[in-house]
Amino acid sequence: MIAPMISLRGRDFIDVADLAPGDLRRLLDLAHQIKAGRWTERPLQGKHVAMLFQRPSHRTRVSFEVGIARLGGTTTTLSSQDVQLGFRESVADAARVLDRYVDGVVARLRLHADLLQLALFSEKPVINALTDRSHPCQVLADLMTLEELRGDLSRQHLVYIGDGNNIANSLIEASSVGGLALTVVTPPGYDPEPSILERARSINSGKNHVTLTNQLNVHDATAIYTDVWASMGQEDERAARQKVFGPYQVNKRVMDLAPDAVFMHCLPAHRGEEVSAGVIDSPRSVIYDEAENRLHVQKAIMVIVDVAVVAFVLYQLLRLLRGTQGTQILVGLILLAVVGVVATTFNLILLSWLFRNATFFIVIAVIVMFQPELRRALDQLGRIGHIGRPLSRYNTRQYNQAISEAIRAAERLSSKHTGALIAFERDVGLEDYAATGVRINGEISAEMLQSIFYPNSPLHDGAVIVRGNRIIAAGCLLPLPEEGSVRERLGTRHRAALGLSLASDALVLVVSEETGNISVIEEGKISRNLDPDSLRRRVAVKIAAQNGNGRFRFRR
């Protein structure tokens, strides 16, 4: 079975609030499938995961290590003595170093701010195993447990009693995403963070599934949940908290007020403090089911994160091949792969032998058939080297001058139905194409462009290539796209402009000789019938604005 796709933000799993309702549903469904043994794939085969544990927990460590191993991966676990984030080493440095070693990071940290820094500077997926602000893996296991025992989450009423801590925060987010009715009961002054409540309200468009109260009211509860009164790092407050939280203990009297409710706890529990021994050991207690489901939910999260990365790569591959003959070739290769799987599954000996012995020739054939697409992919990959440095050695004033003169010329040529083709060089050099024309190396002006494209002039039918504020060549020959890759009927100028935009990052301005319409072409996309104002905005935004900012800014 193929795992469902979930759009985890930035490929990380930081909080429950990062999931859309449909994503949460699919993740829980996958966790149920894994637990039932209906999902046995090993997507982490050959991958290694770092486990950062500033805060110890045998449940978190064992469940993640076992889950990763069963998915085919391996782990390295680092304690606070091994990696002292923010003390001996900055979070950014640790993230960048781990990036060179591992394929993902599971982090159980003291500070949520450190987790966000880790995710920001890590190119590999980061999973939140606990912070002072949230505990999303635990709460997803709680939802899975409640769903197993009581069914549809939207029909459940969970009452949380205790400190407004990370568990309470994640339950509030889960309530908003999953539609679960939640009552949070805390002593005065120990409410959850206001920012958590604000974010929760924004998720469900103002629908409020969360009730905050200081009164111990558990009527209609299908589950009663509590946690320790003093979390790690709050040991010095324990005595004071026992006095404040004493009336909020979950005991037989409280459970009797909700006879149909199960008892839940994330563990470890302090028997006799937040919960009585009689309740935690009663048949209504489901704490060990919650602990077990941590394993299945965390496996589902890791599967989804891995699938999201693969899906992104496949999406970019399909974008690259779209509109080329490679699309049809790719379909053919997929069909061949299906035939190969069938041959192996049904033990078709001759067909399997042919596939095994034809592998080398298939690889060579793929390289030959996908040569244009591979060249284009390598070209786009090479542009990564331009990230974080100036777009070119030309300043904004030069680009503004070139744009103004080109647009002024295009307007005049358009009014006379005189064809024109002007290419603006950006990161990818156009020197090879400039070499096919006549060297000009003159400062750009509308009058010069009009002269070049004057009907029947020697340079009229070629392209002008602009670098900065200078015309470096005219009468240039540009590459045409492959036959069959362009579905619409285009003239030669538009085809040449389209071909150059696919082969480079150039922005190309075209004036149609037939209609006088002006078009801008970039990355294989045509913007047609632009009036002077929209033309200025289009070209200025694409070239001048980017150069003025000085840098491309990419999100990971």
> Cis omega (within 30 of 0) on the bond before 194?
no
Reduced 3-state DSSP string for 30-43: HHHHHHCCCCCCCC
170, 196 contact by CB (below 8 A): no
Q: Scan for tokens 């509030």, then name that residue.
A: 172
103, 124 contact by CB (below 8 A): yes
Going by DSSP bridges, is the β-strand pair 420-424/463-467 parallel, antiparallel, or unpaired?
parallel
Active-site annotation holder among 61, 150, 294, 538: 294
User: What strand order describes the sheet that includes 126-130?
Assistant: 74-79, 48-53, 104-108, 126-130
Q: Scan for tokens 């002593």, then name that residue.
A: 187
Separation of alpha carbons 139 and 294, rounded Å: 9
Active-site annotation holder among 54, 117, 138, 450: 138
Ranges assigned E (strand) in 457-550? 463-467, 470-476, 507-511, 518-522, 525-527
Separation of alpha carbons 229 and 356, rounded Å: 63
How many Cα atoms sit within 13 Å of 369 on the Cβ side?
Answer: 17
Q: Scan for tokens 């603006």, then name that residue.
A: 424
Residues 6+ apart with CB under 8 A from 448: 440, 442, 471
Active-site annotation holder among 11, 26, 61, 108: 108
424, 402 contact by CB (below 8 A): yes
Separation of alpha carbons 543 and 426, rounded Å: 8
Separation of alpha carbons 296 and 285, rounded Å: 20
CA distance readout (Å), 454 to 299, 460, 478, 513: 67, 6, 19, 11
How many Cα atoms sit within 13 Å of 120 on the Cβ side?
Answer: 10
* Amino acid letter, 214: N
Going by DSSP bridges, is the β-strand pair 470-476/438-443 parallel, antiparallel, or unpaired?
antiparallel
Active site residue 227: yes
Separation of alpha carbons 285 and 413, rounded Å: 81
115, 121 contact by CB (below 8 A): no
Active site residue 135: yes
Active site residue 138: yes
Active site residue 163: no
Active-site annotation holder among 61, 112, 157, 266: 266
Active-site annotation holder among 11, 32, 135, 493: 135
Going by DSSP bridges, is the β-strand pair 438-443/262-265 parallel, antiparallel, or unpaired?
unpaired
Separation of alpha carbons 122 and 114, rounded Å: 12
What residues are labeled active site? 108, 135, 138, 227, 266, 294
